[in-house]
Every structure is written in C-alpha cells, then in structure tokens.
Amino acid sequence: MIDKKPDVVDLLVDKVYGGSRNGNSSDDPLPNLLGVDNGAGFRHIGQRSGVKTLKLLVLKTSFSDVSWPDTLDRENGTFVYYGDNRVPGDLHKTPRQGNLLLRNLFDEAHQHQQSSAFPPILLFGSTGTYRDVRFIGLAVPGAVGMGGDEDLVAVWRTTNDGVRFQNYKSTFTILDVPVVSRAWVKDIQAGNAISSPHAPGPWLDWVGGRKFKPLKSVPVKSVRSRQQQIPGSPELAAYANLVYEFYKKDPHAFERCAMELARLFMPAIHSWEITRPWRDGGRDALGTYRIGRGAGAIDVDFAMEAKCYGMNNGVGIKPVSRLISRLRHRQFGILVTTSYLDRQAYQELVEDGHPVVIISSGDIAAKLKERLGTLDNTKIWLQKI
C-alpha cells in the first residue's frame, strides 16, 4: 500500500510503508516519511560530527545479504547489524562512514556519565516489493546482559582473493514502543527529542539510565514446514550440503559434528559424551546444559540424536519417537539433521509438548555462514572436528 501523506502518519511496529512505483530510487518512502536521504545503511538528520549533534538516525536493512546476515530476534527483542566495510584496510574508513558512526554510538552508550543528547534510532527492513519498508521499531545500542566488549565487536572475514579484513557486528535492542507518534517525529526533527512530551517512556529510561525494556514477542509454537527448515537460497544450501557430503559415508562420525553444531546454537552446553554406536539406545550423545553462572548454576541433562540425511530425505517419526522414549524426567532432547523433520514427526513434538530442540539444515547453514563466513572456512572447521 502506498502512503498518500507519509509525513503525517504514525510509525507502527511491523506496519509496511510504501513508496512510488517508478522503478528507481524515487520509490524509497523514507525521505518523505522522515525527511532523510535515500542512501544505504544509516541515514540521518543533524550533523555527523558527533553523536551529540545528531537529531535522528534511520537504519534500513535488506535482510538479504547472506554474507552479512542482519538478524532480528523477535523473541528477545534484539537486532544484530553488520557494518559497511567490505575491503581490507581501516574498518572505519567506509564511503558512508557507517562503521565510524557505529563506533561512536556504542562508545557514547557505554559512558558511565550518560548524556541526554542521544539520537533516536528508527529501524526499517525491506519487504522485497519495490522499495517498500516495514517498521521494525525504535532501537538503542546494546542489550540486556551484554557488556561493552560484547555488543560491538570487530569480526574477521576473507575476500574471494583470500585477503582478510574486519567489519563490525553490532547488537541493538528494539524497545517496547509499539507506536512512534508523528508528534514525536516532528519534535525530533526540530531537535527536541528529549524534551518532547511525546517521547516514549522506555526510550527516556534508556537515555537517562541505560535501562533496557525490549519489545519481546513470545512465539506461538508451530510446526515448521519443510520449506521453513531447509536453506532459503542456493548459497546457503551449499553449507548444509558440504556437511552432508563430508559425513554421508560415515554417519557415526557426524555425531561429533552434530554436537559441535549444537554448541554453536547453545553455548551453555557444559559437558557431553558421544555414546557407542551399539549402545546408544536412541541417543547419539548425552550431556549437560548449564543454567546460570558460578556456584549458583545448575546443570540440566540432555540427549542428542544426529541424522546425516540428504536435503530431500526427511527425518520421520521413528527416530524422533525413539529419542522421546529415552528422555528421562527433567531431561530435554536435541535433534540435529542435515535435512528436515517431516510433518508428522514435527506435529507430534508440538502437539504433545515434548522438550526437543530441532536444528535442521536451514538452521545449520545460516549459523555456519554467520560464524565461519565462507565455505573454505567451513571445510577447515569440519576437518578439525
């Protein structure tokens, strides 16, 4: 839907804001919606000489760059954004100075003596239809439980020519603000974001005391379709296929790889052991998952099942039922597969409320791409397991 008067509408979380249909940059709705330019990455109102001279920041992500997978975690209200450096050299010297802006934003956010002069950050995502955008929310740097050395980190990548370079990986919190009113937007544009009577409370709490109130969304537990479990593009499928080809002649060797994959998703896995093939009883590995830290932490037992299947060969009800039957009281299961879980098996898990974590080929591919970057790096990782 194309907004006829974009400069008078409120911004509602998850609402789509449409532009024109000319097939060029004039289709971008953000200039009319918020008074910013139509460039990539960060757009701004105010001077970029420092954080305190900025009135507003607008960040648009395409969510389509598999090399730099910006990610929205709706359940926890966080957003991971990768900076704009793509070549070797100083990671801050980029054409639109996006990485320099990230550094300055997070430096200011980490200050113990907080300044009230901090620009609101409005986050949008592409919809894939012309240049229409979906409003994701009002964002601030950092997240609950993350320190100053965790929410903005420089990660290494390798070019196609084998040359290494760095880029930023940043974590933002989407605040529990379902509507950004047009009245506040106008006050922001006038340089009165803090003093405005329309400024939302969660944002003022963060600016004044770095108190996070994320917009969390509890997911409705549903049966993921085959399409939702497998990689969404040929490039991502190459990662899952690489793992499958590496282990297809020795599925038992995949068990150790499956545990390492599970640890990528669940870093709090504390201890584990691979069971002997002739004694596994439906469990390829046993382990403990640690909740909490220090003397007050507790360990929860889990059992893991690993299935090295081709992408078109789904995991059926039998191995899932076997895993479920072996779970003891207060124990959960993990099923890792280079394929997907078929509908009947998935439906049984969901409808009966069985505590089993499913890590499918699509999950594996996205995580390997995020953590290791390239197929060559993934090959090296597989060889070291």
Question: What pTM did the predictor assign?
Answer: 0.70
Q: Pick left, alpha or beta for residue 173 (phi over 0 → left; psi -120 to 50 → alpha; otherwise beta).
A: beta
Position 97 scores a pLDDT of 86
Least confident of 155-164, 230-239, 341-350, 369-378: 155-164
Predicted confidence (pLDDT) at residue 238 exceeds the cutoff of 60: yes
Q: Give the mean model confidence (pLDDT) for residues 199-206.
A: 96
Q: Is 23 helix (H, G, I), strand (E, B) or coil?
A: coil
Confidence of residue 282 (pLDDT cuts 50, 70, 90): very low
Q: Is 351 helix (H, G, I), strand (E, B) or coil?
A: helix
CB distance 244 to 251 below 8 Å = no
Predicted confidence (pLDDT) at residue 43 exceeds the cutoff of 50: yes
Distance between CA 95 and CA 93 in Å, rounded?
7
- What's 148's DSSP letter? T
Distance between CA 120 and CA 34 in Å, rounded?
12
Position 280 scores a pLDDT of 46
CATH class of 226-384: alpha beta
Predicted confidence (pLDDT) at residue 31 exceeds the cutoff of 80: yes
Q: Give the mean model confidence (pLDDT) for residues 149-178.
A: 90
Confidence of residue 286 (pLDDT cuts 50, 70, 90): very high
Neighbours of 282 (CB within 10 A): 18
Give start-end residues of each CATH 3.40.1350.10 domain in the chain: 226-384
Distance between CA 51 and CA 143 in Å, rounded?
19
Distance between CA 178 and CA 180 in Å, rounded?
7
Least confident of 105-114, 140-149, 168-177, 264-273: 105-114
CA atoms in the 13 A half-sphere facing the CB of 121: 25
CB-based burial label for 310 (10 Å; 0-12, 13-18, 19+): middle
**108: phi then psi, degrees, rounded to nearest 5:** -65, -40
CB distance 285 to 275 below 8 Å = yes
Per residue in 332-380, pLDDT (tens digit) is: 999 999 999 999 999 988 888 899 999 999 999 999 988 888 899 899 9
Distance between CA 372 and CA 158 in Å, rounded?
10
Return the higher-pLDDT residue of 251 and 337. Answer: 337
What is the rounded radius of gyration, in angstroms, for the C-alpha atoms of the chain?
A: 23
Position 115 scores a pLDDT of 65
Position 112 scores a pLDDT of 67
Of the candidates 61, 156, 47, 152, the one whose C-alpha atom is nearest the C-alpha of residue 109 is 152
**Length of the chain (residues):** 385
Give start-end residues of each CATH 2.30.280.20 domain in the chain: 6-209
Q: How many degrees, rounded to 5, is the angle at CA 206 between CA 203 and CA 210?
A: 170
Which string of DSSP letters, residue by residue, matches 261-322? Answer: HHHHH-TTEEEEEEPPGGG-TT-SEEEEEEESSGGG-EEEEEEEEEE---TTS-B-HHHHHH
Position 277 scores a pLDDT of 63
SS3 content of the chain, % helix, strand, coil (to 5): 30, 25, 40
Neighbours of 22 (CB within 10 A): 10
pLDDT-above-90 percentage for the chain: 59
Neighbours of 271 (CB within 10 A): 10
257 token code pair: 């790889």
Per residue in 45-89, pLDDT (tens digit) is: 988 777 888 999 999 998 877 678 888 999 899 999 999 988 888
173 token code pair: 């919190």
Predicted confidence (pLDDT) at residue 7 exceeds the cutoff of 80: no
Predicted confidence (pLDDT) at residue 91 exceeds the cutoff of 60: yes
**The one-letter amino acid at 41:** G
Return the higher-pLDDT residue of 193 and 117. Answer: 193
Which string of DSSP letters, residue by residue, matches 182-230? Answer: HHHHHHHHTT-TTT-TT--HHHHHHHHH----B---PPPP-PPPHHHHS
Indicate the average pLDDT of the chain.
89
- In terms of CATH architecture, what is 6-209? Roll (2.30)
Predicted confidence (pLDDT) at residue 122 exceeds the cutoff of 80: yes
